[in-house]
Amino acid sequence: MSIDDLPPLRDVIRRHELSARKSLGQNFLLDLNLTARIARSSGPLDGAEVVEIGPGPGGLTRALLALGADRVIAVEKDRRAIAALAEVGEHYPGRLTVIEGDALETDLASHLSGRPVRIVANLPYNVATVLLTGWLTAEPWPSWWRSLTLMFQKEVAERIVAQPGTGAYGRLGVLAGWRTEAKILFDVAPSAFVPPPKVTSSVVHLVPRAEPEPCRIRSLEQVTQAAFGQRRKMLRQSLKSLFRDPVAALEAAGIEPTRRAEEIDVAGFAALARELLSERSAATG
């Protein structure tokens, strides 16, 4: 059974000549059962305001609207998709706003009502981590969004949810773990997409923490960059570029100086970020 009585996505793609373009990271989902599963997994949609990045022919957009989203604000860079999305908008009057443009440059604030929004997207892989990093570093915190439900390449998804002591743990995992609780919901096989990508994908769900470990983003980024930039080295060595006395800073943060980046949890990195800030503040005095 179809979730709406709009034409099948294959017809939409044919009529609007939406042959997939690699340069735009286009791998479309045509199975409305799968798009409904993704939409449902983002949380209760009744009355929700949703931001979608890259709606393309509109498979996920249709699922979000059919499942009760009050409003969907969708940002799409490909002009060819705009007419297809207009048909979806006509089917759900007043509930779909399509912004034609680059999500990296679009200021969403003026389009939002001020209620916390859910961000749901099958992201173009070429800008996926840049977009995620932007949402994770939002200020002020708690963020303007209440959840992120996003499709990534599985390898990226594993880095987002990675825990200390694993090879996938790095800067992205620290940032995501600092500000959110992140988990992989399910994998999606290449065959679910048109055209199929080379690798498996995963849907990740991130919910903001109300009170992340206190520290400045900039300092956290500096310490994780230095630490993971030389991940095989002991921290007393890799942090030499940042701290006047890395051993003293590590001890003040409660971390053994012989540890390596991979072994340090988010609380440890936040403590180091606070040490860095206080050293820099003392220096500028």
Residue whose CB is less far from ligand SAM, 59 or 177: 59
- Which of 78, 158, 213, 275 is the binder for ligand SAM (CB under 6 A)? 78
Binding flag, residue 213, ligand SAM (CB under 6 A): no
Minimum CB distance to ligand SAM smaller for 66 or for 235:
66
Nearest to 149, CA basis, from 175, 186, 179, 177: 186
- Among 55-63, 89-97, 156-164, 259-267, the segment contacting ligand SAM (CB under 6 A): 55-63
Q: Which two tokens stand for residue 274?
A: 């606070």
The region of 54-62, 64-72, 182-190, 201-209 touching ligand SAM under the rule CB under 6 A is: 54-62
**Shorter beta-carbon distance to ligand SAM: residue 154 or 233:** 154
Please pick, from the candidates 119, 120, 127, 192, the single residue that binds ligand SAM as defined by CB under 6 A.
127
According to the binding rule CB under 6 A, does residue 122 interact with ligand SAM?
A: yes
Number of residues binding to ligand SAM, judged by CB under 6 A: 23
Q: Where does this chain touch ligand SAM (CB under 6 A) — which range of 75-83, 209-217, 256-264, 269-277?
A: 75-83
Residue 17 region by backbone torsions, left for phi larger than 0, else alpha for psi between -120 and 50, else beta = left
Segment interacting with ligand SAM, rule: CB under 6 A, options 65-73, 97-105, 161-169, 218-226: 97-105
251 marked among binding-site residues:
no
The annotation places the binding site at: 27, 29, 54, 76, 102, 122
Provide the binding-site residues for ligand SAM, judged by CB under 6 A.
24-29, 53-56, 59-60, 75-78, 81, 102-104, 122, 124, 127
